[in-house]
Structure 1
Amino acid sequence: MRLAHPTDEDADQGAADLFRVLGRQVKALRERAGLTQRELGRRLGYSEETIASIEQGRRVPQPELLAAMDELLDAGGVLTAAADAVERAKKTRILHPAWFRGYARLEAEAVELHSYCNHVIPGLLQTEDYARALFGMRTPLLDEQTIEMRVTARLARQELLTRWPAPIVTYVVEESVLHRPIGGRDVRQRQLEQLLSLGRLRSVELQVMPTDRSEHAGMGGPFTLLTPKGQLQVAHVEVQHVNRLIIEHEEVRMLAARYGSIRAQALTPGDSLSLIEKLLGDT
């Protein structure tokens, strides 16, 4: 008799259930302490939106946040004990679609990440609402549960930007992307605010490619260059839900050279942040 093994769908569902149960525990402990989501967030140094997302199982809490919650809410180690299970789910990236998991594993080990984006804000820089709006407009349509799992997975990937030691991260984003109101005016405003915040990190350089450039090395489309720890640089290309991981040295070298030209043609990081500030002032 052959033993049955869990499918990807089973793993996805198990992770989603874990985050929902953990969220309900946080909510119950918060309410027992007589705190609102805003009050809990303020005491921990997080936004009300972050606490709400954790309680609804949409956001994966970091181990240090679980430990802080455990102490503040007098949970007796219940939340801290869940940290290992949460980390296992994040490391395997089981909430990602199967075709993306190979890239996600490499990204999690990255010491360098460089990306040119011409259509939407890069996933690692997206707010929760922006990501949800993007998944919500996919064609064919995704069901609500899948949307929430994908949002959770995307937010979990963002710890790459704040971990230590920090990887070297650069982005070049088209100016037109900053004007596109994905999710509506308020979502765009919060997204621009997040870009400002992340662009000021010492480990992140964010550049904007002005629309009025007459010469542009990136007309072939978006791509990402990735260097996992202890490995050679690779490239990743995704378009129309077709993705390709490029490991051939010559192809990667050519994309790296092209990215250098793109960065040279874009605004400097300082001027890029000034442009984003101006756009925020105009909203």
Structure 2
Amino acid sequence: MSGNVEERPERPSEVDGTAHLFRALGKIIKVLRKNAGLSQAEMADATHCSEDLVSSVERGVRTPQPDFLTRADPVVGAGGVLIAAVDDVRDALARARVRHPDWFRDFAEEEAKAVALHYYAVQAVPGLLQTQAYACSLFEHRRPMLDEATIEKRVADRISRQVLFDKWPLPTISFVLEAAVLLRPFGGPEVHREQLLRIRNVAQRRTVDFQIMPQDKAEHPYLDGAFTLLTPKGRREVAYTEIYGHSRLITDPEEVRQHAERYGIIRAQALTKRESLDWIEKLLGER
């Protein structure tokens, strides 16, 4: 699950000043867009993202990711100003990893250093694959309700973990998602489509294995919930679960073996990577 539940309240000290950097950058992007005579919809089309994302970045609700800044710079005629901010944004996102709640921090730190990561998801898209809009929608609709500062901080923390994809050598990474996860249009049509595109883009990488478990399977080896298998450098594989807001890092060899066995069977029953990509493209209406 790797950070999809995150139910426990955070201390005020866990919300730091990093968000101010992103708010200031959002205001700069808004001014540049207006000076370029572009509407939010036109900028979204030119940068291949949703209008909601552009709006949220400008309001400082969502973090402007490095790839967005790189695409946006020539669109708004920034002359390299936004590209110049990419390294600072990447560093800020990397530092955000240490700001996770205590109960999740151990896993987040192990995830960042792991040599192998395997995610099985049954209810929501794994945190490493989530778009800002999807993550924001998850936190906005959870109950009991969260305040805006907490939502902003949790979204930033979750997205910050995705710098893992920029590492080299990249750890071995695989995902298996139950089909129901991607059939739910969480956040509405635009958010859903943007999320599907994000998953497809990551899944197309040669460094990532991605599979979908179809709903028409008559057998299933494990219906108890999501889990992650993680191999720390130089140490034995461990398992991680989140159930009803309670996280657990499992180190007992026999329990870890059981999760690894289940994951192997799930992968054998799931669609292949090519079949999974075709499935997503059909959902997007591109096949």
TM-score over 0.5 for the alignment?
yes
SS of residue paired to 2:260 = helix
> How is 1:122-271 mapped onto 2 (pairs within 5 angstroms)?
122-271=126-275
Matched positions, count: 272
Give the conservation status (yes or no) of the 8 Å contact 2:96–2:156. no
Residue deviations 1:139-179 (CA, integer Å, cap 9, x gap): 11111221122112222212222432222211111111121
Give the superposed CA RMSD. 3.5
TM-score between both structures, scaled by the size of structure 2: 0.79
Residue deviations 1:243-279 (CA, integer Å, cap 9, x gap): 1111222221221111101101111111111111122
RCO higher in structure (CA 8 A, sep ≥6): 2
Percent of aligned pairs sharing the same letter: 42
1:19 maps to which residue? Answer: 22
SS of residue paired to 2:146 = coil
**Take 1:282 and 1:175, find their aligned partners in 2: how far apart are those partners?**
18
SS of residue paired to 1:220 = coil
SS of residue paired to 1:237 = strand
- Give 1:143's aligned amino acid: D
> Of the two, which has the highest radius of gyration?
1
Give the conservation status (yes or no) of the 8 Å contact 2:50–2:190. no
Of 243-252 and 45-54, deviating more is: 45-54
Of 176-185 and 273-282, deviating more is: 273-282
Query: Quick one: structure 1 residues 9 and 259, their matched pair in 2 at CA, closer, same or farther if it must change by over 3 Å?
Result: same
- Give 2:121's aligned amino acid: C
**Take 2:189 and 2:44, find their aligned partners in 1: how far apart are those partners?**
25
Question: 1:108 offset after TM fit, Å?
Answer: 1.4
Extract unaligned runs of 5+ from structure 2. 1-9
Of 95-104 and 264-273, deviating more is: 95-104
Question: 1:100 offset after TM fit, Å?
Answer: 1.5
**Take 1:179 and 1:148, find their aligned partners in 2: how far apart are those partners?**
26
1:119 maps to which residue? Answer: 123
2:7 maps to which residue? Answer: none
TM-score between both structures, scaled by the size of structure 1: 0.80
Query: Quick one: structure 1 residues 224 and 25, their matched pair in 2 at CA, closer, same or farther if it must change by over 3 Å?
Result: same
Query: Quick one: structure 1 residues 41 and 229, their matched pair in 2 at CA, closer, same or farther if it must change by over 3 Å?
Result: farther
**Take 1:40 and 1:229, find their aligned partners in 2: how far apart are those partners?**
42
Of 272-281 and 13-22, deviating more is: 13-22
